[in-house]
Structure 1
Amino acid sequence: MLLLLSTPLLLLASTSAAAAAFPDGVLATGTQGTTNPPVPTMPTTINQNSMARLLSVNSIDDFCIFAPPSYDTIPNTETVEVAWCTVPRNGARVIPDGTFSGVSFLKTPFYVQILGFGDFTKINVAANDAGGELDPHGASGAGNPVGGNVSTTVINGLDEPIAEWMLFIDNTQFCLRACTNGNATYAPMYMCWHELDEMGCEFNMPGTYNYQGGVYETCDADVAYPPGWYPNVVDGTTSFSTFAQYFTGVYTGGDGLPTSYTVGDTITPSTVASTPSSSNCVPQSTVGNGIPLDQLTAGAQGTAPLTQFSSVTMLPSGASAPSAPVPAPAPSGSSSGSGPPPSVPQSPSISQNTPAPKPAVVGGSVPTSGPTPSSGSNGALRGSAPMSGMALLVGGVLGVLGYW
């Protein structure tokens, strides 16, 4: 009885110790919620009716994305998207072989990012759907999808729950970023800034989008500036201007009358501040799981986990824990240094359950014309998406990390 009473206290103490090892704002807090397993798990039994909403983002062969539970558009289903994984894990649905036509898995010091092309009608995204944006915030603060969580082993080989992430997906393209690091200038909430949902993949997650012709690769990559940030270096000091997406609307004021409002910049940037380069790329022939397609049809359910999939969590090739934190300049109108974010981090205290403040704007926004996605980008049809019932990392009594 004493052990039962003390275990939660030990778990909470272990959680605090684990969180202290990371910059603020990296690890998620909360519970896994009712749709998800208590810990990221592989293998799990095939269930193509699953409503699980836990993504793992571990490697090019072991990742998940959100997509509709039944054939529909992303904007129509943003609160109820479900997890689809490349392998049978987390009680989620399994992505059938032949879905992808190209995938680039990128590891950076501040985030892990996946860029992919394919036929996503095979995971219930409606044909010709222009898509949408999902993240752990949303209008209600409960996430889009509600209860959607993300974990990764890329940081240190353990399943770490990630507080800030964003996913754009339409019927042929997706991009997913999980923010795994931060410092006083480039906090996770900025690196995964989620309010530019109409600007699409190539604006929010710039990279080399050259992998749709059958290219599958795992690469190291440079770090992009936070979405919408534009640096300006004067006499060795870097300041940033920031872009806010333009939109108008109507709300009911305290007097009960409809009142119109306008927010954001009327001039939209034509491009990003810089496009990060990739290096140390390791190609492979495809992404697939080898599961017969007749076992992954709509509504298919297995009877037991498939034994050919390992349940052991491995440290992904080339991955390592972040370097020891060092101070960095606070975000402000001016900060020292230039170029992309530094690779060694520490961030200020960040509340994961309150709206992220915009960084200071210096010199106004960067120009060009109205808020249309550039050609080939994945534009959302609706306003900003999402926040979730975020995962809570804990340790077991014997020091084994898990979720509580």
Structure 2
Amino acid sequence: MGPTNPPGAILDTPINQNSYARLLSKATTATAANTPGLNAIDDFCLFAPPEPNSVIGDTEADVVAWCTKARNNARVIPDGTITAAHLVKTPMYWQIQGWGDFTKLNIRHGDEGGELDPHGADAVGNPIGGNVTSTANGGDASYEEWMSFMSYNEFCLRICTNEGQWTAGQMCEHQLDLMGCQWVMPGDYTDNSFTECDGDAAYPPGVYPQDDGSYSTFRQRYTGSYWENGELHYWTVGQAPASIPATWNCKTFSTIANGLDVPGAVAASSTATAESSSSASDSTTTASSSESTASASASDSASPSGASSSTTTTSASSPSSTASLPSSTGSPSASASTTSASTTTASDGPTASATASPTGTVSTTSKVCKTRRRRRL
């Protein structure tokens, strides 16, 4: 786990708001939680800077763990910091995303943030020595592929736990650092709510299924222009994620507060409480951001069949699971497809990739995503 981390995920450690621990453990072990599935939504960690008024792009190698509970000798996220959290459990990954006031986690107000991942410019990780664990496959295991975006008001974290048609590295693609949470990790970004769902896995970030069964891929958001019938037209690749996958078995919670007395905490009840649950094969998600508000609907019709086969990846060196991506149906729209035109101008271009036919096609969205700007150290 590294010199700043405990040997494993530990619950109920002393509160240490000066900790430099860099272990994110996304759910407690069964022995430490009354209900592991419910505990996951109110028991996770995020990376954020150790010093106040910091910019993510300047501190990504040094960020530390902040957790919703006192665990792993990490810093505790004050109650009231997180205003929305949405956890989705898929056969390929577990993902949590939402909103909050992360100036309480030392991020400078207005900082649009950047990406954190286990690779980094020097292949030693951002943060250096960062570790991520999850109980997604039963036991508490450390996973080698994960990705997270943090800004002053938005967060997302995906831990890639299984492999199948796509590798864990593809599902946790770490080279799209300008794209932001809602594009790289599509899902429910409704503010002022807390939900936990089962769901289909999305296609890997930057992969667009085509009508002929192939895939179009690209490395980063870019724009271009072309002339048609004497008129100049513009297009953008990366305007929307390839899909917002279907979810089901959703539970809504009134709070994820921990009730701990730490600086910046807002008084609230101490436990998450399930208010409602639902089961559906189709999903419609409305997401909003501080820069734009847009609706995104996915009319996927996949059944929650899960993975055909999966095993736990217990080390960072050899993911060995064989989960397959559930199929879903829909029609990709032009806004999300790589545009081909007779004359284009772009700063960077897509790389077409024809592979085996996908497990299914998915609906696209028209949601405009925030662009995260960062610099690699």
Task: Tell me, yes or no, if the aligned pair for 2:57 and 2:375 is still in contact at 8 Å.
Answer: yes
Residue number in structure 2 paired with 1:242: 217
- Letter paired with 2:262: L
Give the share of equivalent positions with the same residue, in percent. 45
- After the TM superposition, which parts of structure 1 deviate over 4 Å for at least 4 consecutive aligned residues? 294-297, 339-342, 351-354, 368-372
Residue number in structure 2 paired with 1:253: none
Residue aligned with 2:170, SS: helix
Residue 205 (structure 2) aligned to one of 223, 227, 239: 227
- Letter paired with 1:126: R
Task: Tell me, yes or no, if the aligned pair for 2:104 and 2:264 is still in contact at 8 Å.
Answer: no
TM-score (norm 2): 0.67
Residue aligned with 1:62, SS: coil
Residue number in structure 2 paired with 1:23: none
Matches for 1:5-404 after TM superposition, within 5 Å: 32-58=1-27, 59-71=40-52, 72-156=54-138, 158-183=139-164, 185-210=165-190, 212=191, 214-234=192-212, 238-245=213-220, 268-294=237-263, 343-345=307-309, 366-367=338-339, 375-377=368-370, 379-383=372-376
Deviation digits for residues 93-149 of structure 1 (CA, Å, limit 9, x no counterpart): 000101011110111111000011010001111100010100000111110000001
Query: 1:209 Cα shift?
Result: 1.7
Partner Cα distance (2:130, 2:265) in 1:
22
Partner Cα distance (1:371, 1:43) in 2:
50
Query: 1:221 Cα shift?
Result: 1.4
Which runs of 5 or more structure 1 residues have no equivalent in the other structure? 1-31, 248-265, 298-307, 310-338, 355-364, 386-404
Partner Cα distance (2:162, 2:250) in 1:
22
Query: 1:78 Cα shift?
Result: 0.3
Task: Tell me, yes or no, if the aligned pair for 2:69 and 2:76 is still in contact at 8 Å.
Answer: yes
Partner Cα distance (1:95, 1:129) in 2:
19
Deviation digits for residues 262-294 of structure 1 (CA, Å, limit 9, x no counterpart): xxxx96332122111221111111111101235
Structure 2 CA distance for partners of 1:295 and 1:44, relative to 1, 3 Å: farther
Deviation digits for residues 223-247 of structure 1 (CA, Å, limit 9, x no counterpart): 100000011243xxx2211111269
Task: Tell me, yes or no, if the aligned pair for 2:220 and 2:238 is still in contact at 8 Å.
Answer: no
- Letter paired with 1:366: T
- Letter paired with 2:214: S
- Letter paired with 1:343: A
Task: Tell me, yes or no, if the aligned pair for 2:239 and 2:369 is still in contact at 8 Å.
Answer: no
Structure 2 CA distance for partners of 1:200 and 1:181, relative to 1, 3 Å: same
- Letter paired with 2:186: P
Which runs of 5 or more structure 2 residues have no equivalent in the other structure? 28-39, 223-234, 272-301, 319-336, 349-366
Structure 2 CA distance for partners of 1:136 and 1:119, relative to 1, 3 Å: same
Task: Tell me, yes or no, if the aligned pair for 1:133 and 1:168 is still in contact at 8 Å.
Answer: yes
Quick one: higher RCO (CA 8 Å, sep 6+), 1 or 2?
A: 1
Structure 2 CA distance for partners of 1:33 and 1:128, relative to 1, 3 Å: same
- Letter paired with 2:308: V
Query: 1:343 Cα shift?
Result: 2.8
Residue aligned with 1:189, SS: helix
Structure 2 CA distance for partners of 1:36 and 1:42, relative to 1, 3 Å: same
- Letter paired with 2:157: L
Residue number in structure 2 paired with 1:22: none
Task: Tell me, yes or no, if the aligned pair for 1:168 and 1:378 is still in contact at 8 Å.
Answer: no
Task: Tell me, yes or no, if the aligned pair for 1:170 and 1:378 is still in contact at 8 Å.
Answer: no
Residue aligned with 1:75, SS: helix
Task: Tell me, yes or no, if the aligned pair for 2:143 and 2:316 is still in contact at 8 Å.
Answer: no
Residue number in structure 1 paired with 2:30: none
Partner Cα distance (2:91, 2:147) in 1:
17
Task: Tell me, yes or no, if the aligned pair for 1:141 and 1:353 is still in contact at 8 Å.
Answer: no
Residue aligned with 1:293, SS: coil
Residue aligned with 1:122, SS: helix
The 10-residue stretch of structure 1 (161-170 or 225-234) with the greater mean CA deviation from structure 2:
225-234
Query: 1:64 Cα shift?
Result: 0.1
Task: Tell me, yes or no, if the aligned pair for 1:181 and 1:345 is still in contact at 8 Å.
Answer: no
Partner Cα distance (2:95, 2:214) in 1:
26
Partner Cα distance (1:273, 1:219) in 2:
20
Partner Cα distance (2:149, 2:182) in 1:
10
Task: Tell me, yes or no, if the aligned pair for 1:231 and 1:240 is still in contact at 8 Å.
Answer: yes
